[in-house]
Chains A and B, each alone.
Chain A
Amino acid sequence: MLLLAHIGHQLIWLLYVVPVLIVSAAIAKSFIAQRRAERED
Chain B
Amino acid sequence: MNYLPLAHALSAREDLPVPAWLFAWGASIVLIVSFFALAAGWRSPRFEQRHERPLGAGLSRALLGLPAQIVCGLLGVFLLGVAIYAGLEGTVAPDRNFALTFLFVTCWLGFPFFSAILGDVFRPFNPWRAIGRAAGAGFQAIAGQRPAHLAYPERLGRWPAAIGLLAVVWLEVIYGSGGVVLEPETAAVAALVYSVYTLAMMAAFGVEEWCDRGEVFSVYFGMFGRLGIFGTRDGRLERRRPFSAATGWATVPGSAAVVIASIATTSFDGASEGAIQDPIETVYEWLADAGIGLTASLRLSETLFMLLCFAAVALVYTLGVRGMRTVPGAPSLSTLRAGFAHTLIPIALAYLVAHYFSLFVFQEQAQFTYLLSDPLGTGADLFGTAGAGVDYNVISANTIWYVQVASLVVGHVMGLMLAHDRALVYWSDYRKATASQYWMLAVMVAFTCFGLYLLSVANG
A16 partner, pick from B21, B32, B323, beta carbons under 8 A: B21
CB distance from B168 to the nearest CB of A (A): 29
User: Does A20 touch B at the CB level, under 8 Å?
Assistant: yes
The 3 A-B residue pairs with the shortest CB-CB distance in the complex, in nearest-first order: A19-B28, A15-B21, A16-B453
User: Does A18 touch B at the CB level, under 8 Å?
Assistant: yes
In the bound complex, residues from chain A placing their C-beta under 8 Å from that of B227 are none
Q: Could you tell me if B442 and A16 are in contact, using CB atoms closer than 8 angstroms?
A: no
Contact status of A20 and B445, CB under 8 A, knowing A12-B21, A15-B21, A27-B323: yes
Q: Could you tell me if B326 and A31 are in contact, using CB atoms closer than 8 angstroms?
A: yes
Expressed in whole angstroms, the Cα–Cα distance for A20 and B326 within the complex equals 20
Known: A16-B456, A23-B28, A27-B441. 13 other contacts (CB 8 A): A13-B453, A15-B19, A15-B21, A15-B24, A16-B452, A17-B449, A18-B25, A19-B24, A19-B445, A20-B449, A26-B438, A27-B439, A30-B435
CB distance from A41 to the nearest CB of B (A): 12
Instruction: Tell me whether chain B's interface is mostly helix, strand or loop, or mixed.
Output: helix
User: Does B450 touch A at the CB level, under 8 Å?
Assistant: yes
In the bound complex, residues from chain B placing their C-beta under 8 Å from that of A18 are 25
Could you list 23 A-B pairs, sorted by A, with CB under 8 Å?
A12-B21, A15-B24, A16-B449, A16-B450, A16-B452, A16-B453, A18-B25, A19-B24, A19-B25, A19-B28, A19-B445, A20-B442, A20-B445, A20-B449, A22-B28, A23-B32, A23-B442, A23-B445, A27-B323, A27-B441, A27-B442, A30-B438, A34-B435
For residues 18 through 41 of chain A, which have their beta carbon under 8 Å from a beta carbon of chain B?
18-20, 22-24, 26-27, 30-31, 34
Q: Considering residues A15, A17, A26, A27, which has the most beta carbons from chain B within 10 angstroms of its beta carbon?
A: A15
CB distance from B25 to the nearest CB of A (A): 6
Expressed in whole angstroms, the Cα–Cα distance for A24 and B32 within the complex equals 12
For residues 10 through 58 of chain B, which have their beta carbon under 8 Å from a beta carbon of chain A?
19, 21, 24-25, 28, 32
Interface membership of chain B positions 77-121, coded 1 if the CB is closer than 8 angstroms to chain A and 0 otherwise: 000000000000000000000000000000000000000000000
Name the CB-closest residue of B to A19.
B28
Footprint of B on A, CB under 8 Å? Answer: 12-13, 15-20, 22-24, 26-27, 30-31, 34
Name the CB-closest residue of A to B26.
A19
Expressed in whole angstroms, the Cα–Cα distance for A22 and B24 within the complex equals 13
Interface size class of B (residues with CB under 8 A): 20 to 34
In the bound complex, residues from chain B placing their C-beta under 8 Å from that of A19 are 24-25, 28, 445, 449
CB distance from A18 to the nearest CB of B (A): 7
In the bound complex, residues from chain A placing their C-beta under 8 Å from that of B280 are none
CB distance from B267 to the nearest CB of A (A): 14
In the bound complex, residues from chain B placing their C-beta under 8 Å from that of A24 are 442
A-B pair count, CB < 8 Å, reads 43
Name the CB-closest residue of B to A18.
B25
Name the CB-closest residue of B to A10.
B278
In the bound complex, residues from chain A placing their C-beta under 8 Å from that of B449 are 16-17, 19-20
In the bound complex, residues from chain A placing their C-beta under 8 Å from that of B275 are 13
Q: Considering residues B323, B449, B450, B452, which has the most beta carbons from chain A within 10 angstroms of its beta carbon?
A: B449
CB distance from A19 to the nearest CB of B (A): 4
Expressed in whole angstroms, the Cα–Cα distance for A26 and B323 within the complex equals 13
CB distance from A22 to the nearest CB of B (A): 8
In the bound complex, residues from chain A placing their C-beta under 8 Å from that of B62 are none
User: Does B446 touch A at the CB level, under 8 Å?
Assistant: yes
Expressed in whole angstroms, the Cα–Cα distance for A22 and B446 within the complex equals 11
Expressed in whole angstroms, the Cα–Cα distance for A38 and B450 within the complex equals 35
For residues 199 through 251 of chain B, which have their beta carbon under 8 Å from a beta carbon of chain A?
none
Expressed in whole angstroms, the Cα–Cα distance for A24 and B278 within the complex equals 28
Interface membership of chain B positions 320-361, coded 1 if the CB is closer than 8 angstroms to chain A and 0 otherwise: 000100100000000000000000000000000000000000
CB distance from A21 to the nearest CB of B (A): 10
Name the CB-closest residue of A to B454.
A16
CB distance from A24 to the nearest CB of B (A): 5
In the bound complex, residues from chain A placing their C-beta under 8 Å from that of B24 are 15-16, 19
In the bound complex, residues from chain B placing their C-beta under 8 Å from that of A27 are 323, 438-439, 441-442
In the bound complex, residues from chain A placing their C-beta under 8 Å from that of B32 are 23
Q: Could you tell me if A23 and B441 are in contact, using CB atoms closer than 8 angstroms?
A: yes
Expressed in whole angstroms, the Cα–Cα distance for A38 and B21 within the complex equals 39
Name the CB-closest residue of B to A34.
B435
Expressed in whole angstroms, the Cα–Cα distance for A31 and B326 within the complex equals 9
In the bound complex, residues from chain A placing their C-beta under 8 Å from that of B438 are 26-27, 30
